[in-house]
Amino acid sequence: MAPTSTSPTIATQGKTFAGQSSMPKLPIPPLEETCARYLRALEALQDEEEHAATKSAVNEFLESGEGERAQKMLLEYAKDKDSYIEEFWYESYLSHSDPVVLALNPFFILEDDPAPSRGSQLPRAASLIFASLAFIHDLRAELLEPDTVRGVPLDMDQYKRLFGTARVPTAKGCRMEVDYAARHVAVLRKGQFYYFDALDSANRPVMTEREILKNLEAIVADADNIPAHEASFLLFRTS
């Protein structure tokens, strides 16, 4: 299921997404090439008997005409799409039932901040939030230069889902929703959810790094004072 928006989309008058309309579509390989790639990918995962059976199935797929019919359907499907795999990818990703954090989400570890004053958790978090707010402003105002490789512009569409994005559970997997007008920061501490507004209507930061730190300190103090047996998933807003 492709992402949906819960508010007006990011404007497209700036330079960040200026090259999107000229991006080449993801090409669909010839059927024979796709089948050859499929066999190469499986070769290291199968023993000789299994791989021979797979080769036989692929040859039957090609010779029976079934493969050609599927290729024609795919080409027709892709006519009005920039990427023919995007919706299939979202369907696969969002219908996955394993724990998201451990099974699906990538993560990274940051180096220590070079400033000693940001060496502990909360000052570092405040610094990262403050920097992210400035980035959000430039992204939504389309002031960011498009990413390039050797001077060739890259697709910037995924940047629209960096912030204000959530997986919403449904009876048939999840759907992804994007709120381009989101202006708050959400914090989870010991089973408690907190949030505070950090951007104005023009997506400009309304808090200093020190003010963000004060909010985080208040959140930690509040959450840590709640006895474990009384903790519940309640939502609090800091002033």
* CATH number reported for the structural domain that contains residue 173 in this entry: 3.30.559.70
**Is residue 12 one of the residues assigned to a domain?**
yes
CA dist 235 and 183 (Å) reads 16
Based on its alpha-carbon atoms, the radius of gyration of the chain, rounded to whole angstroms, reads: 24
Please give the tally of structural domains in the chain: 1
The reply to whether the predicted model has a pTM over 0.85 is: no
Domain membership of residue 204 as a residue range: 4-19+106-237
**Is residue 222 one of the residues assigned to a domain?**
yes
**Is residue 133 one of the residues assigned to a domain?**
yes
pLDDT tens for residues 179-224? 999 999 999 998 889 999 999 999 999 999 999 999 999 999 999 9
CA dihedral 73→75→81→82, nearest 10 degrees, is 150
**Is residue 123 one of the residues assigned to a domain?**
yes
pLDDT tens for residues 135-191? 999 999 999 999 999 988 899 998 999 999 988 888 888 888 999 999 999 999 988
CA dist 80 and 1 (Å) reads 17
**Is residue 78 one of the residues assigned to a domain?**
no
SS3 48: helix
**Is residue 140 one of the residues assigned to a domain?**
yes
**Is residue 196 one of the residues assigned to a domain?**
yes
